[in-house]
Amino acid sequence: MHIISFANNKGGVGKTTSALAVAHTLHAQGLGVLLVDADPQANASKTFAAPASTVPAGLGEVLEGRCSLAEALEQPAPGLWLLRATSDLARQEKVLGSQPDYVFALRELLTERFPLPAVQVVVLDTPPNLGPLTVAALVASQHVFVPLKPEFFASEGMTALLAMVARLRKSFAPQLRVSGIFFTEYARSYRRALHHQVVASIEQDPQLTGLVLRTTIRENVALPESQSMGQSIHAWSPSSNGASDYRELSNEIRAILAI
């Protein structure tokens, strides 16, 4: 089972959009996929219909021991599972961060007695910070993919994330790798000189050699539309730039994962 995270120490870079679109794409390509919403904003979870149960169950409730992982999992479609973020996850993250072994919480959850043998890829959406849930998600992962808008402050957030990954690899997660950086709301054909300068500086950085993926995600209104309608980008607008770009990105990710 491959566990991948989408992370950046900066909001508004397309992290949740990318986690959702890649999870939907891998599922459409025939893989068993579990999407874990580890972001207290719960934006990924909001794109799925609310569960029929009146008692909310999600990641936080599992981490608190109030229910099992099997009890909290939802199955929006055959071969696609969801572990949602519920409204109390922000408080639950504070409790999690007070525990001395919190860094291992998600790794233990996703690797010990995991109830879904059909899952081939776990996709983790993380908060736009380097708090306890992001750290736990990274420690659980083998690969982290970094969405990045070609802007100065976004690249600063990426730098902080890369430093955190290096520390976690050394102390807790030797399996963890930054496996790709990809640009969002960007295309090489756009006429935005500043964006091109930021992209060029990142591609020429010797510390990032080989990490910048070929695929870029263009601006596309179909992506937020599909989320507001509770559909995957492939169901909502299969011929859109958004669907095309995330198919290409998912193919790159599959090549890295060798699946």
pLDDT tens-digit profile of 112-167?
Answer: 778 888 999 999 999 999 999 999 999 999 999 999 999 877 778 888 999 999 99
CA distance 157 to 129: 9
Residue 109 has pLDDT above 80, yes or no: yes
The stretch 66-80 carries a mean pLDDT of: 93
pTM score, two decimals? 0.95
Residue 195: what pLDDT?
A: 87
pLDDT greater than 80 at residue 101: yes
Q: Strand, coil or helix: what is 9?
A: coil
Q: Taking the C-alpha atoms of 221, 225, 227 and 228 in order, what is their torsion angle to the nearest 10 degrees?
A: 140
Q: How far apart are CA 76 and CA 153, in angstroms?
A: 36
Beta bridge partner(s), residue 146: 181
User: What is d(CA 88, CA 53) in angstroms, rounded to the nearest whole number?
Assistant: 16
pLDDT digits (tens, 9 = 90+) for 176-185: 999 999 999 9
pLDDT band at residue 18 under the 50/70/90 scheme: very high
| Mean predicted confidence (pLDDT) in 208-216 | 93
Q: 150, 190 in Cβ contact below 8 A?
A: no
- Average pLDDT score, the chain: 93
Query: What integer is the mean pLDDT of 8-21?
Result: 95
pLDDT of residue 225 exceeding 90, the answer is yes
- CATH class (in words) of the domain with range 2-257: alpha beta
- For residue 203, give Cα distances in angstroms to 53, 70, 183, 211: 48, 42, 11, 8
Q: What pLDDT is attached to residue 54?
A: 62
